Structure formats: C-alpha cells, structure tokens
Structure 1
Amino acid sequence: MSGSESHRPVRRRAFVLGAAAAAGSAALAGPLAAPAAAASFGYTDDGSNYVVDTGASLVFKVSKTNGDLTSLVYKGTEYQGYDGKNSHIESGLGTSTVTITQSGSTILISVTYGTLKHYYAARSGENNIYLWTNKADSSVSATRYIVRVKAGLFLNDEPDSYTYAPTTIEASDVFAKSDGQTRSKHYSKLRVMDYDYIGWTTGGVGLWIVRSNHEKASGGPFYRSLLRHQSADGGGLYEILYYGQNQTESERYGLQGPYVIAFTDGGAPSSSLYPGTLTTSWADSLGLSGYVASAGRGRVAGVGITGRNTAYAYTVGLANSAAQYWGSARSSDGYFSVTGVLPGTYTLTVFKGELAVYTTSVTVSAGGTTTLNTIAIPSSNDPSNASAIWRINDWNGTPSGFKNADLMTYAHPSDVRASAWTGNVVIGSGTETSAFPCYLWKDVNSGLLVYFKLTAAQAAAAHTLRIGVTTAYANGRPQVVVNDTWTSSIPSPPTQPSTRSLTNGSYRGNNYTFTYSVPASAWLTDTSQYNVLRIDVVSGSGTTAYLSAGTSIDAIDLLV
C-alpha cells in the first residue's frame, strides 16, 4: 500500500469530504430506498467479464480470470480504474476460479484464489455492490480492497490528497505543498469508530464505501488507518481488512463483510447500509464461506457503569483472537449493548476515552443475550483519581489537549501549521497542557524542562512521578533528571508497534505508564525556587529528526 502514484498538478475542482460527517438531501441508495425499475436486472458474459446490470443506474463488470472489478458505470459514466489498474483485493489476485449465480433478486459472483474467497453481490433495483472477503490464513496476501476511481471525477485538496503536494518529505507517501501544508493518504483524521462510510461527492453524484463491522479486522475501536487517497492520476477508496501500520493486535482470519460500494445522487449513503444497521437475511442462503447469520450470533448488554468520569465518553470493547466488537456506553448511566457477536469467550474492556480502566471476561452464545449487572470501576483503576501535587493534562489514553495534538491526526510534524515543538513548561502558569508538545523525539525536542515549586512538607518527602504514553516509535521512552542531581534509570521499552506512527497520523499504540520513584534528596529545600524536571527521550534506534526515537504523551503528574 505504498504511495507510488505520481503527483502531476491538475486544475482544481469542487469537492466535499465523504466521511461520517457528510450529509445530503439527495437521493439515498440502500435497502430501504425505493427500488428503481428492475426490468433489466440480470447478468451477461462478454467473454472476459461477467457483466451485472442492477436494474437501477449501475452496471459493473468482474473479470472471469482474476475477480478484478474492471468496470463501474453509473448513469452512463465510467468511474472505475486509473493508471491501467482495476479495483480489487490487495494489488490484484492471480488466476482464480470465478463463478456467477442468480437467485431471485440477488446475483452473486464468487472468486476463489487458493484459500481466499471473495464475493460480489448485487440486489435488484439498488445502486450498491455488497462485498465479502474471507482470508482463511496467511498463505494469501489480502489486507485491503481498493476501489480505484478515474482522475478528474472527485478531485479535492483534503489532508489525504496529494494532488497538489508534489514534494516528497518522507518515504514515498508523505508530501508537502508549496505553502508548507503536508498531505498523505495516511491522514484520514478518523478512528474506525468515527466513520460509517468514506468517499466523495460532486453534489450530483456520490461514490462511497460503507465499511463493514470490522469484526475480523484488528486494532479495536480507536484504530486509525488510511481510508482513501487522491492524486493527479485518480483516487482510491479502501476497506482495510488488516493494516500493518501501527498495529497493536495480531491479524484475524475469516469472513469480513459485507462492505458496500454505494452510488447516490450526491447525498450520503443510506443509513440502512451502515455497520450495526445493515441486515442481510437475503444472504443467509447464498453459501458464503464463513458466513454466520444473525440467528447464529449473540448480544452483550450491561445495565450500567459506575465510577465513570462523566466528562468523558466511555466505550465497551469485546475482543478475542477470532473477532472484535465495540459499543458506546450511555452517558447518563453507562448502559451499553453490543450486538451481532459471534459465539465465544471475550475479554470485555471499558475505556475512559481511549484508556482501559476495567476488564472482565464474558461468554456469548448463539441467539442469546449475556446480561451484565452494573459494572463498578474501582477508583484505583483510573489514574486521574490519584492525588497529585501537579498534573499536566488528564489521563484519557490520548494526547488530546497537548500542543499540536489535534493537527497530528492529519498532518506531518513538519507541517507549517504546527506550533514549535520546543519550549518549556511552568506549573501554575495556566498553560501547562497547551504548552507541552504532544510528541517528544530524541532528535527534535528531547530535554524538555518542567518548572515547579514544592512546599517544605512536599520537598521533605519522596514522590512518584508518572508519565503516560500512548505509543512509541523506535523504542523511544522517557528518562528523567531532577535538578541536575538525580537521574532515573533508563526504563525498559514496553511493547509497541514497530512501524511509523507519529508521522503518519496515529498516536494509537499500547497505553503504558512509566513510574519514577524520586527521593526526597532530589528536591530543592528553598521553597521559593523552582525545581526543574528534564525529560529526555532515550533509545538506540531510529534515525534523525521526526523519524528519530519518539513517543506520544497522555499525561504527566507528580503524586502526593
């Protein structure tokens, strides 16, 4: 999934970001929309492709050789393909077994390549293509489905577009515009729980991918991956089956889907297609490998959650080696319901923001509801409840609130919009959090200073210093020095993803808290003077600048 597309300047056209926030009053496309006349619904064989007419406004072709989507015609306009490439699984399969069947109002195309099975389904009168992918094991590479879209149809200049950013600044996939703003296909802004669909609209035509429930993906509800890209040569929309960048979990195998390619008359896709809303009883009898109908799934429901900090949203996640699910806890009482769960035993995790504050085990059975009594989060599970002399930011598992934190989900650290990564912090200034950089690197801003005063009683005692991180690059971790007289040992690196993270739009790794026992002898006894804490980033790996060893900060505090 490298950024190898070229970057020739082209004339700018109007755009609208096609994420979950996009909406429109134009015609919807989905199972609940009024079907168009379906007199022409059916398929033909042109010798090289199966040609499917949905009986609405969409005609598409699938290669009989390898299962590529070779044509995508909506209202007479061809949208599929750029640079001689088709839409397909990963970078395209080799010679495959491709078959087609029609059962009433459904047409199913089945693609088999080794142990991998992929499916396209069309429903009479709908401008949608339903897709499933079953990656059974590691013998076949399949980490995404990409819809390739012709150039000039949906051009934009959003963070995930590099049409107007011809200068490469990192690897082959991060670019800079002439005004200093950065662009990359990695800069989606969104966590997986934040969007239901991704795509583009001209106002008159919308082309979208509605994501699956990601039960066979990895990384959990807060995971970030690329969703689309735009270049002078064309655009790409992605359904990520497994993404190796900044990944925190092992790959899961099995049937993933349906995800949906949806055309509209410019508006958002119908909410009836969204994960958690979409029902596919019509697919129960299609014989999809690994398919489990709704009757074979269960539900987990919780009466409520106590011990919450109501300033934060809480999420409940379920995960085991085979599947993952999540749902939001109701703000008033913490009630939650997670539906469509495959039978099995799961670790249930309650997250405050993105910080795990409670775990337990639940077992789900087919057709049943596992009901949990009120979950009480112990006070000690939330680090914010510990009494502190001072605290920078609050503990929520993210760097939100720190300097440049919001920008870093859709820009490179070198972006002209970023505030200076250097600068020291004074406790009591009122700007402790906003002045503290969200990321620290060995080669950029290591050695950051925090100034603070202690009372005589506080200076007479030892204290615990805590630094929470959300991820690290190249094993970057903090070593601290107090008043140039006491230096902590170098902590061991926790388990973190080994790929780029801080420079490609993600702070999401494994939350970890470093603790340092600072002796009383380290503090200044003159209470009128500032104690000085220096935070260095240490690691023997990484390269230079923003690819030197680094880490993302959640919160820092000195306990009573």
Structure 2
Amino acid sequence: MSGSVNRPVGRRTFVLGTAAAAGSAALTGPLAASASATSATSATSATSATGFGYRDDGSNYVVDTGADLVFKVSKTNGDLTSLVYRGTEYQGYGGKNSHVESGLGTSTVTARQSGTTILVSVAHGTLRHYYAARSGENNIYLWTNKADSSVSATRYIVRVKAGLFPNDQPDSYTYTTSTVEASDVFAKSDGQTRSKHYSKLRVTDYDYIGWATGSVGLWIVRSNHEKASGGPFYRSLLRHQSADGGGLYEILYYGENQTEPERYGLQGPYVIAFTDGGAPSSALFPGTLTTSWADSLGISGYVPASGRGRVAGVGIAGRNTAYPYTVGLANSAAQYWGPARASDGYFSVGGVLPGAYTLTVYKGELAVYSTSVTVTAGTTTTVNTLTVPSSNDPGNATAIWRIGDWNGTPGGFKNADLMAYAHPSDVRAAPWTGNVVIGSGTETSAFPCYLWKDVNSGIVVHFKLTAAQAAAAHTLRIGVTTAYANGRPQVVVNDTWTSAVPSPPTQPSTRSLTVGSYRGNNHTFTYSVPASAWLTDTGAYNTLKIYVVSGSGTTSYLSAGTSIDAIDLLA
C-alpha cells in the first residue's frame, strides 16, 4: 500500500487506512496522497482564524473552527449533535448522534477557550471525554478516559448521514437484505457477503479510516491505541455503511475476539478530520502527531511527551529474513509496537509511558522471543542485539513434510485472504473440503485455512515415508491461531492409530472465524506418533485424518472450529 496517484475520484470511491509502518499517506483507492490545505495540521497557530470561537445556543456548545467546520456538542449528554463542513450537515442517522459507546446519558458538559484551542469536556461518572478544536483546522481532536468498568465505554462512533458516501464494499450492507449470521452478516443476491466486521485491516495496517468523494473526505485518524487491547495484529470493525447511513469507529475496547483484559486510562487523541477529498494530513497520524498545545488543558490522565520514554534496539539476530518482524511492548496499563528494520532488526518505539514492560519479538504474528525492559520518562532505553534462539522458531525444525509457514497466521492456505473480508459461506470461497497430497506442490494452497466440526472435519493428508522414516516414531505438530467453541484437532493415522483428545488452549469465547478474524492465541498441538502407526510399504500413501472435536458450538460455520498456522511431521 504505497505510492499515490494525483487524480480526482468519483463518488463511489472509498478509502481504508494506510499502514503506520509505511510512514506515508499512501491510499488504497485512486486518491491524491497529499492532504488539502484545508486539512493541514498547524500545531503552533499563533493567531485565531476569523470566526474561531464557541457559543452556547441553550442546548449545545457550538464550536466554529474558523475554517470550514462547525460542530455542536450537547450540553446534556456530550453527544456530537452536528457536524457541518462547508455548509453540509454530515452528522447523524436514524435519530442518533455521534458519541461514546451508544451515548453516555446525563453528563456535566463544559467548554472553555485557551488561546487558539477550544476544549469541550464531558464528565459522566468516572468517565471523562473531550473534544478539542484548533483555530483554522478542519479537525476535531478527541480523548476518552475510562477509569474503571462502571461505564460501558468501548468505542466512539461518528454517525454519518445516508447518501453522502455511497459504496458497496465488504463492510457495507447498503445493497443487501438477506441475513447470513446473527443480525450483522448479510448476503447479496450474487452470493457475496457483507458485514461491518469485514474491515480487512489489523490495527498496525491503518492510520485512518473513512470515505471520500471528489470534493470531500471524512476520516477518523486512529490514536496510538496505547490503552486498547489485543496488540498490533488485532482486528475490529472500523466502519460500516447501510441504508440508514454510515459509521466510523475508534474502538477503545471491543468484546469480540479479545485476547487481553481491558486497559483503563486516557486514550487519544483520535481525530475526526475533513479534507477536500485527499487523505488526512500525515501530521495527524499516530506516532507523528504532537500535541504540546494540549499539555496545559487539564485533560484527565494526560501525559505530555516529556513524561514519556523510548525503547530502541540495536538489532535482532536469528531472524528468518523472509518474514517481517515486529517488536511489541505490553503491560497491564499500556501497549505499543513498531517494525523491526528488515536489514538488521533495528527497532525504535517511542511515546511510551514509564514502567516495566514485556518486550515481544514477532515473526509475522508468531511470538518467538520475549524479555523485560523498563522505560523511564525523558530517556531512551537501549536494548543490545536480541538473539532469537533457533529452537524458539518452529520453522527451524527439520521436517519430513510441512504444510504452511510458521508465522502465526493462516496466510497461504485456501481461502485465507478472503476470510479477512467475507463470510466462509461467500460464493467466492473455494470448497472447504478436499484432501491434500504431500509432494503435489499445492499442499498449502489446497488445505483450507479453517476447519470446522460440522463442515470439513476429517480432512485427509496423503504422504509417503521412506523405510527409515517408517521405522521410527515421529512428532506431528499442528499450529493454530485461534479457535471457536473450543474446537481443537484430534488426528487418526492410517485408520489404526488415534491420538488422545487434546485439552483446549485459552482462546477468545466470541465469534472469530466468521467475522473476519483469525487472531486469537497462537498454540501448537503436538502428537507423538509411534512407529507402529506407519505403513511399511514405501510405495503406499500414509493417511493423516484431522478431525475437529468439541462439545460446544452449534452447526455449520458456527460449529466448533479452528484456524491453521502450519502442520508438519518432524524428522
């Protein structure tokens, strides 16, 4: 997702986000990469733009940014009740406003101007939420501080009127009415599926989300997610489009397919940004945005840049250079991540709150190394070259045969790419059944990325062994990336040897495989297969049957299932 094209777009153009690691404003649609002058961030405006200010209309605080944006915040509950850009109202559908979660209810709402900044503060129990406007900018900066579980605040949703940004993308269900699953997965008449869950993107893959026409772009630029949960590879709903209107989301914590407990504290800023149709300014991106102008605003839980530190690593040895590596930092209070340089594994993760962290090195999405680091405000913690032990990477083990790559994802398996933005029942999916022959050259692409108890349990892998191999016991490994309803593999070799039913590892309890996410807890099942299980005829094919077992789940694609990372038979 790099590069750009400098030409206008039609009204049906949509844009997802750019990868933060790419460090550019490159787009996924035919949009100019540069932001318009009306969207540029000026963090050091010396004077107020003409018209900049706010007033009280009795029901709302009305904020004029002095540019092309005027917005209103309810004095009753802190909802964003109006979002007018260049005279057009964008906010609201179905009688609903834009707000934290589904609306906070009665709150204490105040507003004040500090030089070239206006801050609207919302207090609801222990929760604090903030809207900030900067003179001359078409941006709204938002922070949300959830202190505890007393308030169910997991997201901010910008509700957008219908018809302003029509599209027919994977996360749109404007043109479909048939429900496939629950009340949020739909099928079009041509058999393609749509859902708000089908964003395609992991958190690390995007900086912003939204829509654009030839003359206007409306975006949410995400925060750094330091108080979110799930790490860099977490997927969640980012936007939707329906007959009622559209929604853009900043997910602070979402209860679906979560691998970590909820973190509390101030999250932000995330930014609602309008442009003339181009991308939002890269100065707004997480990792780039500076907010020294907010240091003295009194935002609850706010920590300025001077109160943060950095972790920098000299390099990472023992890498498999065919794969990207990511370095993550996490504790119970915060999470951060950054890419390791391809040439030597150098990494630098900044803006980190002080404290002790677990540093994890990921090969793809598979954790292969961890250590501890302590971050101090105002300093850089330097980490000497980290060496990933060969035994930590399962891909280094010598195998008689292997299906897939040990990278913590089902990438390369049949239907894997489609599953990030479609339901398994989608007409574009290849058949989920079909057996695999080792040596065919299509072992991985022919093997389905997901296995379900009620869909394709019992898939068969055919393989030959030499006389020496058949005379010895071997370890079979099956790596998985998540599971639904405690689905896990039990294997049968040559219809004569059956493994025990393995215990289920800890996995998220919610839907995953049918809502665009394979990201759970990577786990490797191992099976010690005795020599007596193999065929002694070296010209005959041995058979490995893989079943999904569980007493939970329902039927079809909601029966117990699991996502495959790699399968191999060790030498």
Q: Aligning the two structures, in what range does the TM-score lie when normalised by the shorter sequence?
A: over 0.9
Give 1:183-198 correspondences, 5 Å limit. Answer: 183-198=194-209
Cα offset for 1:33?
Answer: 9.2
Distance 1:342 1:26 in 2: 31
Which residue does the alignment assign to 1:17?
A: 15
2:345 to 331, 334, 338: 334
Which residue does the alignment assign to 1:467?
A: 478
The question of whether the paired residues in 2 share the 8 Å contact of 1:18 and 1:208 is answered with: no
Q: Deviations over 1:359-416 (max 9, x none)?
A: 0000001111110100010000000000000000110000000000000000000000
The question of whether the paired residues in 1 share the 8 Å contact of 2:327 and 2:338 is answered with: yes
Which residue does the alignment assign to 1:356?
A: 367
Which residue does the alignment assign to 2:500?
A: 489
Aligned: 1:134 with 2:145: yes
Which residue does the alignment assign to 1:6?
A: none
Give 1:59-458 correspondences, 5 Å limit. Answer: 59-458=70-469
Which residue does the alignment assign to 2:24?
A: none
Cα offset for 1:155?
Answer: 1.1
Count of matched residue pairs: 549
Which residue does the alignment assign to 2:60?
A: 49
Distance 1:313 1:106 in 2: 41
Cα offset for 1:30?
Answer: 3.2
Cα offset for 1:278?
Answer: 0.1
Distance 1:247 1:14 in 2: 33
Q: Higher mean Cα deviation, 36-45 or 48-57? A: 36-45
The gaps in structure 2 that reach 5 residues or longer are 1-9, 19-26
Which residue does the alignment assign to 1:27?
A: 36
The question of whether the paired residues in 2 share the 8 Å contact of 1:402 and 1:434 is answered with: yes
Letter in 2 for 1:57: D
Cα offset for 1:14?
Answer: 1.8
List 4+ stretches of structure 1 deviating above 3 A: 32-37
Distance 1:240 1:156 in 2: 22
Distance 1:38 1:369 in 2: 38
The question of whether the paired residues in 2 share the 8 Å contact of 1:18 and 1:201 is answered with: no
Distance 2:103 2:35 in 1: 34
The question of whether the paired residues in 2 share the 8 Å contact of 1:465 and 1:559 is answered with: yes
Distance 1:427 1:549 in 2: 27
The question of whether the paired residues in 1 share the 8 Å contact of 2:75 and 2:109 is answered with: yes
Q: Higher mean Cα deviation, 27-36 or 224-233? A: 27-36
The question of whether the paired residues in 2 share the 8 Å contact of 1:33 and 1:270 is answered with: no
Distance 1:301 1:514 in 2: 34
Letter in 1 for 2:495: D
The question of whether the paired residues in 2 share the 8 Å contact of 1:37 and 1:56 is answered with: no
Which residue does the alignment assign to 1:544?
A: 555
Distance 1:32 1:97 in 2: 30
Distance 1:17 1:365 in 2: 38
Cα offset for 1:145?
Answer: 0.2
TM-score of the pair, normalised by structure 2:
0.95
3-state DSSP of counterpart to 2:532 = helix
Cα offset for 1:31?
Answer: 1.7
Q: Higher mean Cα deviation, 37-46 or 399-408? A: 37-46
Q: Deviations over 1:496-550 (max 9, x none)?
A: 0000000000000000000000000000000000000000000000000000000
Distance 1:82 1:33 in 2: 32
TM-score of the pair, normalised by structure 1:
0.97
Cα offset for 1:488?
Answer: 0.1
Letter in 2 for 1:106: T
Cα offset for 1:13?
Answer: 5.4
Distance 1:26 1:403 in 2: 39
Describe the shift of the 1:33–1:325 C-alpha distance in structure 2 as closer, same or farther (beyond 3 A).
Answer: closer
Letter in 1 for 2:14: V
Letter in 1 for 2:288: T
Q: Higher mean Cα deviation, 175-184 or 30-39? A: 30-39
Give the root-mean-square deviation of aligned CA atoms.
1.2
The question of whether the paired residues in 1 share the 8 Å contact of 2:77 and 2:106 is answered with: yes
- Identical pairs, percent: 84
Distance 2:42 2:470 in 1: 67
3-state DSSP of counterpart to 2:377 = coil
Which residue does the alignment assign to 1:517?
A: 528
3-state DSSP of counterpart to 2:567 = strand
Letter in 2 for 1:156: N
The question of whether the paired residues in 1 share the 8 Å contact of 2:48 and 2:116 is answered with: no
The question of whether the paired residues in 1 share the 8 Å contact of 2:11 and 2:213 is answered with: no
Distance 1:139 1:44 in 2: 32
Describe the shift of the 1:33–1:319 C-alpha distance in structure 2 as closer, same or farther (beyond 3 A).
Answer: closer
Which residue does the alignment assign to 2:23?
A: none
Distance 2:177 2:15 in 1: 21
The question of whether the paired residues in 2 share the 8 Å contact of 1:481 and 1:535 is answered with: yes
Distance 2:16 2:273 in 1: 12
The gaps in structure 1 that reach 5 residues or longer are 1-11
